[in-house]
Amino acid sequence: MVLEGKSVFGGIAIGRLSIYNKKENQVKREKITDVEAEITRFTDAKETAKEQLKGFYKKAVKEVGEVNAAIFEVHQMMLDDLDYVESITNMIRTQEVNAEFAVASTGDNFSKMFAAMDDDYMKERAADVKDISNRVISILQNAENGSVTGEEPVILLADDLAPSETVQLDKSKVLSFVTRHGSTNSHTAILARTMNIPALIGIDFSEDVNGKMGIVDGYTGTLYIEPDEEIMKKYEAKKAEDENKKRLLLELKGKENVTLDGKKINLYANIGGVADVANALSNDAGGIGLFRSEFLYLESEDYPTEEAQFAAYKTVAENMAGKKVIIRTLDIGADKQVDYFHMEKEENPAMGYRAIRICLDRPEIFKTQLRAIYRASYYGTISIMFPMIISVKEVKRIKEIVAEVKAELTAEGIPFKDCELGIMIETPAAVMISDLLAEEVDFFSIGTNDLTQYTLAIDRQNPKLDSFYDSHHEAILRMLQMVVDNGHKHGCWVGICGELGADTTLTSTFLKMGFDELSVSPAMILRVREEIRNTKVEE
């Protein structure tokens, strides 16, 4: 039997199919007499759930980095959401029902409410509220969650996998995962890609496949169930070829990023926090092309101090031993919400109060971060990059604030180095005025994820639009060329730090366009290097 779906991460997996059975929480409505004791039961279970999620966060940080682990902090915040908590406690108090029933009912109500919203970010919260509600119910019932049983590694099949379930899996027992639902841009998909597990979504499997032999082809999005001998031999050879390619890639360590006809390009790593530096170095990154500084804010319960930020930036600068480190200033908002910023809910957060808009609106937060970065610059080679720019006016204001920070540090006798200043090109507006912007900054780095989303008017988080989302769209490619041309004409070097930079089908195109730098996830550095070294630009 052959089933077709969508690939989340490439690779070949061969093994037994195992259906991940979630422990369903059977909830009955019961009349209670001691209302306050029942509310205390709920509150205790809620706090236990938050402690569990803190544990998942720490585990996920080690496995997939701070940015991808942030979903567990979102879940902790959702558990403390006043509307959610009051709905549960009010139901217990007024209807005199057990905590399990109140949590289940509220979870269902909130999930339906989120699912019915027009905003796609809020729609995705429907699954999250079900996940946290099930967690609280499991604690109230002293129930265990689903897991992988047996010693033999398996291809895991599930209706869908919540991020908390994915991070709890014993990775040594999972060859691949296959789900009926989910989107190619969901949190779980990102976790799968980061963990290098071949994964498929949109596979409509039946329950009777449990225990049968299977093959996952992560390149074509295909699941083979009980393959015949010929198919099995073909994929065993393909798997061996994949493993051989990985070994060959390791031989590329220490080699230059230079084409067959002598064109060089810088190949840097995108990282989500201090813990990711080791991964960048082990994959031979020439520098850090995108250091997402927002992890410091996402993992903190209050605004991170100048000292805390300085310590993190200094550590990265020192560990990179003089190699370039490009720190992107605070980029929260949209799908990265931070409770203590007290931001109002927005109809369309992707186009709302986010990134540089917050920094320019709240300069005290911005200056604290810039002071920390400039202090850290003394210990390495740091560049600073500003996200979501749409005007020259914004850049001029940023440079005024930078000048104020440098003057303060000089007056205080604190040593620092001058830093290159650059901007993210991730809006069509920035593309169209890139000639003007180039006169104000030292470099451009193109955020292709948001640029594609804004140019095509497609929410990349919406699975219904996956077939319309085209990062190779001619409009995007023309924009990339326009930015390179304008940047070079006015003295800027130009790079890509969006996921498109790791798309090896476009590597030769980027070289021909004249890009100076590509910044990709650490795991992709050697693959992109191989493509560069096998390319002849003139051809």
Instruction: Tokens 């190619």: give the residue.
Output: 184
533 burial via Cβ count (<10 Å: 0-12, 13-18, 19+): middle
462 compared with 318, residue with greater pLDDT? 318
Which of 132-146, 189-203, 501-515 is predicted most confidently?
501-515
Across residues 182-210, what is the average pLDDT? 77
For 380, which DSSP code?
Answer: S
353 compared with 520, residue with greater pLDDT? 520
**pLDDT on residue 144:** 61
CB distance 465 to 257 below 8 Å? no
**pLDDT on residue 383:** 97
pLDDT at 347 over 70: no
Across residues 460-476, what is the average pLDDT? 85
Per-residue pLDDT band at 338 (split at 50, 70, 90): low
**pLDDT on residue 421:** 98
Q: Kindly report the average pLDDT of the chain as a whole number.
A: 88
Across residues 10-17, what is the average pLDDT? 91
Please report the DSSP string for 402-468 in residue order: HHHHHHHHHHTT------EEEEEE-SHHHHHTHHHHHTT-SEEEE-HHHHHHHHHT--TT-GGGTTT
Instruction: Tokens 């009980």: give the residue.
Output: 226
**For 259-533, which CATH superfamily applies?**
Phosphoenolpyruvate-binding domains (3.20.20.60)
Task: Look up 187 and say whether it is catalytic.
Answer: yes
Q: Is the pTM of this model over 0.75?
A: no
336 compared with 524, residue with greater pLDDT? 524
326 three-state secondary structure: strand
List the domain boundaries for the chain: 2-22+146-238, 35-140, 259-533
Residue positions in the annotated binding site for phosphoenolpyruvate? 292, 328, 449-450, 460
206 three-state secondary structure: coil
257 three-state secondary structure: coil
**Spatial separation of the C-alpha atoms in residues 308 and 295, rounded to whole Å:** 12
**pLDDT on residue 337:** 58
Contacts of 164 (CB under 8 A, 6+ apart): 53, 56, 72, 75, 131, 135
Angle of helix 35-69 versus helix 71-79 axis, rounded to 10: 160
Residue positions in the annotated binding site? 292, 328, 426, 449-450, 460
**pLDDT on residue 368:** 95
DSSP-derived pairing of the beta strands 266-271 and 222-225: unpaired
Residue positions in the annotated binding site for Mg(2+)? 426, 450
Candidates 187, 359, 419, 492; catalytic one: 187
Across residues 140-150, what is the average pLDDT? 67
Per-residue pLDDT band at 299 (split at 50, 70, 90): confident
**pLDDT on residue 499:** 86
119 compared with 326, residue with greater pLDDT? 326
Task: Look up 497 and say whether it is catalytic.
Answer: yes
DSSP-derived pairing of the beta strands 324-328 and 443-446: unpaired
- Give the CATH number of domain 2-22+146-238; options: 1.20.120.330, 2.60.40.1120, 3.50.30.10, 3.30.460.10: 3.50.30.10
Least confident of 7-16, 246-255, 451-460: 246-255
Candidates 359, 419, 492, 497; catalytic one: 497
**pLDDT on residue 426:** 93
Per-residue pLDDT band at 10 (split at 50, 70, 90): confident
**Spatial separation of the C-alpha atoms in residues 309 and 62, rounded to whole Å:** 20
pLDDT digits (tens, 9 = 90+) for 210-231: 889 999 999 999 999 999 999 9
Please state which CATH number belongs to domain 35-140: 1.10.274.10
**Residue 518 neighbours by CB distance under 10 Å:** 27
